[in-house]
Structures are given as structure tokens and as C-alpha cells.
Chains A and B, each alone.
Chain A
Amino acid sequence: MSTVTFKVFRGDQNGGELQDYTVEVQEGMVVLDVIHKIQAEQAPDLAVRWNCKAGKCGSCGAEVNGKPTLMCMTRLDTIDTSKPVTVRPMKTFPVIRDLATDVKWNYEANKKIKPFAPAPNTNWVMFQEDVDRVQEFRKCIECFLCQNTCHVLREHGEKTGFIGPRLLVRTASLEMHPLDVENRLDMLKNEGGIGYCNITKCCTEVCPEHIHITDNAIIPLKERVVDEYYDPVLRFFRRLFGSKKRPELSQAADD
């Protein structure tokens, strides 16, 4: 058993500061265990959102020594505890209190994405190779660490013209669905703001589900936007032979 100093953010939407807590830690503990120990022994009013303690609910996202992570999945033996360990709330979202942030912007931005739209009289039989890509995106637990990490949202605060990596992954899961006939490329280019993404891959680095966000979702979507708006040769051939997305069926699905 050893003693470690934790500097934990305490505050609300009006501001706050780091407060020092000295905690006796044991082998096998994760950061969330420490936060619970602080709650139990030193600061019962410390606010933290958590649920499963298994890296599956996506509730306990925070920044430990500057790195966005799930506190329940961050073992103390993976960080340097010889120096004070800093725990802050996710930087991109407004603080409600202490380590709990208000992530409802994500749900508002999600409304920009048109829902799944199958063609009328769809044959629902699908083959595994058709849904492999989509199933990777379905692993998302909506922890929003990727949204917190994305510098477009985090550093530039672009929350009106950009939907962020999580919602790009969701769009990819719909766009690549074998039975979907909706066209979301206009949304991606305009209000979705995919052009803001400059592929620095931080979202991929931080994903606790190891989804290849950039390579398998964002870049393929960027290429689909290129197909539609920046490739005159392909556009010519598509007009000649017809689009793979069928707007009339999409319209029927909307009806």
C-alpha cells in the first residue's frame, strides 16, 4: 500500500480549481476507485458520473494527466504515481459539477443525421460481409472521448458546423449499411462539416473500443464526399449510368 496525491478538479459552470487529495492506493486499483475512495473518505460532495465500472457504459470519461480516458479502465500501474496525478473533467463540454460534464450537445447534433431508411418492400436478408464494417461502428459506447479529443471541437469550439468523430462514425454506419437508401453526403459536406476534420487521428487513439474511427469511418466518408462533389470524372460516369443511391426510394421511405 502506498500514498499518492491526486489533484482533482472541483468546480462548476462558473469555474473551479484543482484540489489536492492524498489517498492510500492498493495494487489493481483504477482511477475511478480512487475517486470513489475520495468520495467515501474526504469529499462526499465530489460529483462524478459512473455506472458499469467495466468500460462498457461510457459514463466515467475524464482527463487523467491530460489524457482523455475512461477512469474505470485506467489502472494506476499505467500512470506515474510518483508525481501528483491530475484528474479533470472532459475539456470540450460544459462542466455541470466537478468531474461531471454536460454532453447533451452530442444528442442535439445527432439530429442532423437522417435516420436509417430502407427501400420499400426491402428484402431483409443480409450477408455477413455486407455488415462487417457497420458492426465495427456498432461497438461505440458513446463515451464521447473522441468528441472531447477532436481539436475542432476542443480547441476551436466548432459546435455549430461540425458534428465530430462520434457522429461521423454513426453516419458511416448508416451510409455503409447495405439496405439503406438515404443520401447523407450533402449533410456531411455542409452542416456536418466533414471538411473540418484534418485526419490527425486523435479520435482513434482515444477510443476505448478500438474502433478505427479515422481509417474506417471518416476517410471513407471523405472519399464518398469527393465522389459526389470533387470528382468531375466520376460524377460524369455516375450521371451516365445512374446513382447507386436511389433518391426516389429514399423519398418513398421518408413518406
Chain B
Amino acid sequence: MSTKPVIGTDKRLTERQDLWWLEPLLVAVVLTSFVIYTIWAVLQRSDFHFGPYTSPFYSIPFTSAEKLEWLPFSPAFLVIWIPIGFRATCYYFRRNMYRAFFWDPPACWVAEPKRSYSGERKFPFVLNNLHRYFWYLAVFALFFHIYEAGKAFFFEDGFGMGLGTLIMLLDVTFLSLYIFSCHSWRHLAGGCLNCFSKHKGRYTLWQRISQLNEQHGLWFWLSLMTVWVTDIYIRLLSKGILTDVRFF
């Protein structure tokens, strides 16, 4: 049986007339900027703390980054691999990564560079199958983000709320939505079952996660932006460039 597409041998890139290149370009620019900023912020080892606020990059479980000054490397390295691993293996991120950075494909119905392709069958992309393990770790790390957001209410002069508190609250809210709308979590919570009627509780949970999961991409971007903004805001406060706004 011949499966050879006769018109598949032509040299057309695409006949799409819309701005198909815009989305992968924007994704590549934003993600590259975020990665460069994160590397810079992690290597700084300073200005990650102001008053009750701590940058999410330096949210270390069971201790604080200040107590780890003696480490020969930035204490942020102790935790930063967890969100990096979780995001890098995320099903939504993979779609964007393959489109923007590997052009596999750059956009739908657009020709891609002719080279060997093994998808996610071989190293390194087969490691994406470890996503659920990063999900477990991300939930663990999230609790410490929530703890840091709670601490942001307790100023030197007592209980209060500032713009930094609000930003940190938004950060943990969007991080929670992102983590708990995860495809792997959806599967583990109930998607792996074939007979929902015998597991009513897990079926209800699966339905709720499925609703959240429909906006998984939105939660990905919002949580990325709020992490970014939170670190920038705390860094600017710490450097004395900005003054925190206190609501009460």
C-alpha cells in the first residue's frame, strides 16, 4: 500500500495567510526573557527580602534563605529546580516549547525543518513522563509559598496588608490554580478510572479538576507573570527604588 503523499514533496512553507508566526515568536521572547531574568535573580543572592516579603525564588522549605548564606551557591538553587522541572514537563508548556523553540512544528499546517524526529520516545524528551513526580514536589513547594504569603501580613508594627502582600496573594492563588489544574493530577485524581459510578467522590473531584484544566494555559501564564512581578517588586523595594504601599 502506498502511503506517499504526492503533494507532500513540495517546498511550500505554508499557504496560511494569517500571522501564524506571531504566537511562537511572542512565546519565545517571553519565555527566554523569563529564563534570563530567573538565572540573573538566582545568581544575585541579594535583594530577595523586604520586611515580611520574600521572593518566591527564595522560598526555602523549613528555613529561610538568610540562614543559608554560608552555602557556596545561591540558596535559590535548593528549590528552583522544582518549579523549573514542573513547568518544563507541563503538557501545556510542551506544546509551546515544541512550537517556539524546536519548530516541531512552528505552527499548525506550517512546514518544519526536515530532520529526524522521535517525539517523546527518546532522551531527553522521554523524561517528560516524569511530570507527575514534579507535580508531587510542586504541591510540597506550594505550601511554603502559601506560608510566605501568610507571613506577608505580619509587619514589624503588627498585622497589616501592603501591595506586596496583595501581589504575593495573587501569586499563590495563580500558582495553586496552575498546579491543581494539571493534566497529571486530573489523571491521578480520577481520570485513570474507567467506572466513575463506583467512585463518586473521585468522579466529582475529576469533574472539578477538568473545569480548571480547561484554562490550564491561562493559569500557566498568569502564575509565571505573578512570580516574575513578585520578585521584581520585592527587589525594587529592597533596593529602595520603590516604597511599599500599605493598605492598613
Whether B98 is near chain A, meaning CB under 8 Å from some CB there, is: yes
Q: Across the interface, do A86 and B99 meet the contact criterion of CB distance under 8 Å?
A: no
Give CA–CA (A230, B131) in the complex, Å: 10
B216 — nearest CB in chain A belongs to which residue? A215
Q: Across the interface, do A223 and B187 meet the contact criterion of CB distance under 8 Å?
A: yes
Which one of B5, B95, B131, B132 lies within 8 Å of A94 (CB-CB)? B5
Nearest chain B CB to A215 CB, angstrom units: 7
Identify which of A13, A155, A178 gathers the most chain B CB atoms within 10 Å of its CB. Answer: A155
Q: Across the interface, do A215 and B183 meet the contact criterion of CB distance under 8 Å?
A: yes
A200 in contact with B183 given A67-B109, A104-B1, A195-B120 (CB within 8 Å) = no
Q: Across the interface, do A200 and B109 meet the contact criterion of CB distance under 8 Å?
A: no
Q: Across the interface, do B6 and A94 meet the contact criterion of CB distance under 8 Å?
A: yes
Whether B239 is near chain A, meaning CB under 8 Å from some CB there, is: no
Q: Across the interface, do B192 and A223 meet the contact criterion of CB distance under 8 Å?
A: yes
Residues on A with C-beta less than 8 A from B195 are: 130, 178
Nearest chain A CB to B123 CB, angstrom units: 12
Residues on B with C-beta less than 8 A from A157 are: 3-5, 8
Give CA–CA (A86, B14) in the complex, Å: 11
Q: Across the interface, do B105 and A200 meet the contact criterion of CB distance under 8 Å?
A: yes
- Please encode chain B, from 87 to 108, with 1 for each CB lying within 8 Å of some chain A CB and 0 for all others: 0000100110011000011001
Query: Of B44-52, B110-118, B141-149, B219-227, which stretch is located at the interface?
Result: B110-118
Whether B15 is near chain A, meaning CB under 8 Å from some CB there, is: yes
B127 — nearest CB in chain A belongs to which residue? A230
Q: Across the interface, do A63 and B119 meet the contact criterion of CB distance under 8 Å?
A: no
Give CA–CA (A91, B112) in the complex, Å: 14
Q: Across the interface, do A94 and B2 meet the contact criterion of CB distance under 8 Å?
A: yes
Nearest chain A CB to B80 CB, angstrom units: 24
Whether A226 is near chain B, meaning CB under 8 Å from some CB there, is: yes
Nearest chain A CB to B31 CB, angstrom units: 16
Q: Across the interface, do B126 and A195 meet the contact criterion of CB distance under 8 Å?
A: yes
B102 — nearest CB in chain A belongs to which residue? A198
Query: Of A28-36, A47-55, A146-154, A247-255, which stretch is located at the interface?
Result: A146-154
Which one of B4, B98, B129, B194 lies within 8 Å of A244 (CB-CB)? B194
Q: Across the interface, do B183 and A158 meet the contact criterion of CB distance under 8 Å?
A: no
Residues on B with C-beta less than 8 A from A178 are: 194-197
Give CA–CA (A106, B2) in the complex, Å: 12
Q: Across the interface, do B119 and A152 meet the contact criterion of CB distance under 8 Å?
A: yes
Q: Kindly state the interface size class of chain A when it binds its partner.
A: 35 or more
Which one of A15, A95, A199, A231 lies within 8 Å of B91 (CB-CB)? A199
Considering only residues 203-239 of chain A, those with a C-beta below 8 Å from chain B are 205-206, 215, 219-220, 222-227, 229-231
Q: Across the interface, do A200 and B98 meet the contact criterion of CB distance under 8 Å?
A: yes
Whether A122 is near chain B, meaning CB under 8 Å from some CB there, is: no
Which one of B6, B16, B196 lies within 8 Å of A66 (CB-CB)? B16
Residues on B with C-beta less than 8 A from A226 are: 129, 131-132, 184
Q: Across the interface, do A108 and B1 meet the contact criterion of CB distance under 8 Å?
A: yes
A127 in contact with B197 given A151-B105, A157-B5, A215-B213 (CB within 8 Å) = yes
Nearest chain B CB to A86 CB, angstrom units: 5
**18 extra interchain contacts, Cβ-Cβ under 8 A, other than A67-B16, A154-B109, A198-B98?**
A15-B6, A65-B15, A66-B14, A67-B109, A88-B15, A94-B4, A102-B2, A105-B1, A149-B109, A151-B104, A155-B111, A155-B112, A157-B8, A200-B95, A202-B108, A215-B214, A220-B187, A223-B132
Would you give 13 A-B contacts (Cβ < 8 Å), ordered by A?
A12-B6, A93-B5, A95-B6, A130-B194, A151-B105, A198-B98, A198-B104, A198-B119, A205-B108, A215-B214, A222-B129, A229-B129, A230-B130
A interface, CB within 8 angstroms of B: 9, 11-16, 63, 65-68, 80, 83, 86, 88-89, 91-95, 102, 104-105, 108, 127, 129-130, 149, 151-152, 154-159, 175-178, 180, 193, 195-202, 205-206, 215, 219-220, 222-227, 229-231, 244
